[in-house]
Chains A and B, each alone.
Chain A
Amino acid sequence: MRCGTHSGTPIAVPLSHSHEVNEKGKAEMQLIATLILLPLIAAILLLIIRQNTARTIIVCAFGTLIALASVVFAGTYLAAGPVFFDFNHPLIDHACTAISGLCVVVILAFSAKYKNIWAALLAIIQIIVVMVVEFGFASQMEVEIGLYTDLLSIIMVLIIGIIGSGICIYALGYMEDFQAHQDAAARDRRPTFFALMFIFLSAMFAIVLSNNMSWMFTAWEVTTLCSFLLIGYTKTDEAIRNAFRQIIMNLAGGIAFIVALWFAITDVGTLSLIEFLQAGIANPAIVAVPITFLAFAGITKAAQMPFQTWLLGAMVAPTPTSALLHSSTMVKAGVFLLVKLAPLFLLNTIPSVMVMLVGGITFLLCSFMAISQTNAKRVLAYSTIANLGLITMCAGVGTPEAVWAAIFLIIFHAIAKSLLFLCVGTAEHHIGSRDIEDMDLLFERMPRLARFMMLGIMCMFIAPFGMLIAKWGALVSFANMDQIALILILAFGSAATFMFWAKWLGKLAGIAGQPPNVELSVHKSEWVSILLMVMLLVFACIALPAISAYLVEPYVVSAYQFAPVAFLVQDISFDNLYLASISVCIVVIALFCGLGRSKKRQVDVYLAGVSRDDDARAFQNSLSGQTVATARNWYMEDVFGEARIAPVGVVFNSVVMLCAVVLALVGITLA
């Protein structure tokens, strides 16, 4: 194995026996190539063939193909352990540089059009650093193993392939309604929309499968650009503003990423992810600076405070975009990188403390702020940021148990969040509002959708569903590491989580109690995707013990070969996981079979007067007139309002990150 030639301290890192380079090489490459190229072909086709029917066929066909390919991929490599592909070519390196350059050109063009000086400035800085790194250092670096796959990559591939494609198919119906609400004169830009969604998927596959970190960086930048274009899709002033906020924050993250690559070359002498990880485990001090910068990049992408505003702003985009950004792509790239680096955080105090604190404070404060939101999509956004905070926190702790928890959080968050976004999107088109208070009366004729939404919500915050089992793992790992601050953050944050989900769930419970009405005009594609997510969710919750045994635990064991994995067996023993599975079955049966079967005589609710209209809660008052009772949820703006809480987190986390970067740089200078 060749190491970098241009390195201050060249370190030969032998690949351990389980990391044998795949001999069959090219033949097996086809599967990975298929995963990355299929969405690209779909995107190109969608741009060329702009007809509506053709688009439906292409999206459905390629969505199914991508999902199937990812399942086949998972099946092929599930038992193989980490597999490394001896695959590299200068052409690909040049193509990556060209794509990075192209991204910057596009950003510059938009900055010029909308006169945004900051985005332009950051883009120029980025391209300069890229050029310096690519042509100054990286050209002498040869990464023999271009691509790899391990169990974490497989999990990510399944999430991207199945959930991502599901969302694309959902978007067919949604965008038809969306287009119908637009001006008739406006140009139909749906081909661009769908093409961007598929490019997004392709870039995500490239991120989770690249061992060459400069390829990974290119894919990273492509996701940034795609989400910029998707957020700004409607071209309203607000959309443009929020798109630029996104691009500025993520360009800063991208610059941090490329700076990290620079340090990886000069300090560690490699651009190969696996060698980088092994070098870091062998000698933690030399990776301190690059992983601090990589963590910075991951934190911006995962929309942690102080960067949370870009994900909140992204809500202006059509709902499928939000679903894609929140569940299977974009933010998941950020936490994927952090989880990948977790073993190094265990050995490096400065970046570890930074990641833990940033994630912890984000989890706590965003859970609080979610209580004060009435807009359903904003509640979802805050909950996403909070959960990403929890994942970030686990990655920062870096113990095997914490990584176990983080991976489960990624899986369940992806499924449950996509389900919730799809449900909110469908509800929005039928009631014309995203406000939770409006869901009360207008939404009552969609009891089936309400139950799907309830299932999604329950999965987000309550035992025995997946997210809580993962939180449980997190709590155990914090207790084992004596991380008192994190335990407190988890305890109070979870309490707030209960509040904001339970009150929304309560609103929906009122709807599920209504008699079903099939007077629905939900698109078939929307139902298909929603049902897919529901089935995935139920399957994943019930099969949790198996997912743990066959995917997550083996990954954790292989990633922590340097440290003995005294495992969860004793803390979350398996009988508890099975007990959780059984409980999930009970809840699901109750929700979908038990409700609405009662044969009791129906009476009006008590309204302190004679009821006149039960649905409207109208009753006859003491003057024989009609009074309508109103009840609203609690939002407690004065306790948990954004204006009060957000500045605290932004200032605190900015200071933490600044200190960490300075300390890491000082540390390397002194050493």
Chain B
Amino acid sequence: MSLMELIIPILASLVFAVVAPVVGCLLAGVDRILSARMQGRVGPPLLQPYYDVRKLMGKERVDVNTVQGAYVVCAFIFACLAGGIFFSGGNLLMCVFIITLSSLFLIMAAWSTRSPYAEVGAARETMQVMSYEPMVLLFAVAFYMATALILPTEGIGSFNVGAAFSLDFPVIAYIWPVFLGLLFILTIKLRKSPFDLSMSHHAHQEIVRGITTEMSGSTLALVEVLHWCENVLFLGWVSIFFVWGAWWSVLIAIVVALAVYFLEILIDNNFARVKWQFMLKSAWAVALVGGGINIAVLAFV
């Protein structure tokens, strides 16, 4: 191993920490405009999410305990690391594990407050992680097995995102059921209705701000930025299905990612929140059918 291999993902994480919030902010702005149009409203300006965050930054610094802010900072650092690993072509499993660590820190931030509302949110967020985690792991395994079939290396696959650029054709050809499964759980990861159990931006839900109930000012602003970064990373996961050796495949991938984002907004505005039982059962069923059958087929090809 050379030092460079270690430095690249770290540098990439720093770049990600700057670029992803910008892209994520614009995506959030588009989300709000599209949502408003779907509800028959005009909606805020494109940069409204940025104005919101800037205003939060200027608020008085108060907190319910001395640790919450530190947890949120950790969540942000690890989200950036996960993004850096992914976009520098690093190991997909490592990326998946690190983003889970980031979610865990957010959950701990909520739990550390001992507020009943935040605790409900944290418990629900834990449930959400348990619901989507199998599908995410199967996504990484399926990517590995698909590259094993496509790469010219004869049966040796790769977990490295960068390997996608050596493919003759994109992995979607072999693992489209996994792609559909990932789309399903993406609704949970993007905190969209009907799976926005732990926190929501729809004011009519029974618990709106669950996990962020006790966060305010700069801490809340950082959570917002963290959310933007996560969205960029997850859309990156979606687009990796469509990348292959040709450079212009990246454009196709971006178009697909944006289409998926639109689909998520559409779903968000058309479904009512479900109970956790349905979320757990449906997400696990999707992982078992979409992920399980797909990798079984790959194994026996």
Contact = CB atoms under 8 A, between A and B. Distances in A.
Interface size class of chain B, counting residues whose CB lies under 8 Å from the partner chain: 35 or more
Chain B residues touching A, majority SS: helix
Given A499-B127, A579-B85, A583-B98, A605 B111 contact: no
B297 to A, nearest CB: 9
A508 to B, nearest CB: 8
A16 to B, nearest CB: 29
A604 B61 CA distance: 14
Interface string A615-644: 001000000000001110110000100000
A598 B63 contact: yes
A462 B100 contact: yes
Given A475-B137, A488-B292, A494-B133, A505 B108 contact: yes
Contacts of A498: 100, 104, 126, 129-130, 133
Given A502-B126, A505-B108, A506-B107, A602 B65 contact: yes
B6 A575 contact: yes
B284 interface: yes
A595 B134 contact: no
Nearest to B97: A463
Interface in A559-602: 570-576, 578-580, 582-583, 586-587, 590, 594-598, 600-602
Interface in B96-129: 97-98, 100-101, 104, 107-120, 122-123, 126-127, 129
A462 B130 CA distance: 13
Given A498-B130, A573-B91, A576-B91, A601 B60 contact: yes
B101 A583 contact: yes
Contacts of A505: 104, 108, 111
B62 interface: yes
Contact of A634 (B1, B109, B123): B123
Contact of B1 (A492, A514, A573): A573
A512 interface: yes
B112 to A, nearest CB: 4
A33 interface: no
Question: Which of A491, A594, A596 has the largest number of chain B CB atoms within 10 A?
Answer: A491
A579 B137 contact: no
A354 to B, nearest CB: 21
A587 B70 CA distance: 11
Contacts of A597: 66, 70
A45 interface: no
Interface stretch (B44-52, B73-81, B248-256): B73-81
A631 B62 contact: no
A595 B66 contact: yes
Given A479-B145, A583-B98, A499 B130 contact: yes
B69 interface: yes
Nearest to B120: A631
Contacts of A488: 134, 138, 288, 291-292
B237 interface: no
Interface in B52-74: 60-71, 73-74
A509 interface: yes
Contact of B6 (A440, A494, A578, A614): A578
A630 B109 CA distance: 19
Contacts of A515: 66
Contacts of B167: none
Interface in A488-505: 488, 490-492, 494-496, 498-499, 502-503, 505
B295 interface: yes
Contacts of B35: none
Contacts of A647: none
A605 B64 contact: yes
A639 B127 CA distance: 13
A587 to B, nearest CB: 7
Contact of B213 (A458, A495, A606): A606
A631 B156 contact: no
Nearest to A502: B126
Given A488-B288, A603-B62, A503 B126 contact: yes
A492 to B, nearest CB: 5
Interface centre among B85, B112, B213 (most CB of A within 10 A): B112
Nearest to A484: B296
B214 interface: yes
B154 interface: no
A617 B292 CA distance: 45
A306 interface: no
Given A598-B70, A634-B123, A510 B114 contact: yes
Interface string B148-183: 000000001111000000000000000000000000
A603 B288 CA distance: 46
A594 B109 CA distance: 13
Contacts of A487: 138, 141, 295
B94 A576 contact: yes
B299 interface: yes
A633 B123 contact: yes
A498 B284 CA distance: 15
A407 interface: no
A81 interface: no
A482 B299 contact: yes
Contacts of B119: 506, 631
B115 A484 contact: no
A590 B77 CA distance: 11
B116 A607 contact: yes
Contact of B78 (A495, A583, A603, A606): A583
A230 to B, nearest CB: 35
A407 B10 CA distance: 29
B64 A579 contact: no
A604 B114 CA distance: 10
B144 interface: yes
B186 interface: no
A416 interface: no
Nearest to B74: A590
A227 to B, nearest CB: 34
A510 B112 contact: yes
A123 B281 CA distance: 47
B30 interface: no
Contacts of A491: 133-134, 137-138, 141, 287, 291
B292 A484 contact: yes
A639 B69 CA distance: 35
A290 interface: no
Most chain B Cβ neighbours within 10 Å, of A495, A571, A594, A631: A495
Contacts of B113: 510, 513, 605
Given A506-B122, A570-B156, A607 B115 contact: yes
B5 interface: yes
Given A505-B111, A506-B111, A598-B67, 13 more contacts: A464-B97, A476-B159, A488-B288, A491-B138, A498-B104, A575-B9, A579-B6, A583-B98, A598-B63, A598-B70, A605-B64, A607-B116, A617-B116
6 contacts: A463-B97, A491-B287, A515-B66, A579-B94, A595-B71, A607-B116
List the 9 closest A-B pairs by CB distance, nearest first.
Answer: A463-B97, A506-B111, A605-B115, A482-B299, A575-B5, A495-B133, A513-B65, A574-B1, A491-B134
Interface of B: 1, 5-6, 9-10, 60-71, 73-74, 77-78, 81, 85, 90-91, 93-94, 97-98, 100-101, 104, 107-120, 122-123, 126-127, 129-131, 133-134, 137-138, 141, 144-145, 156-159, 213-214, 277, 280, 284, 287-288, 291-292, 295-296, 299-300
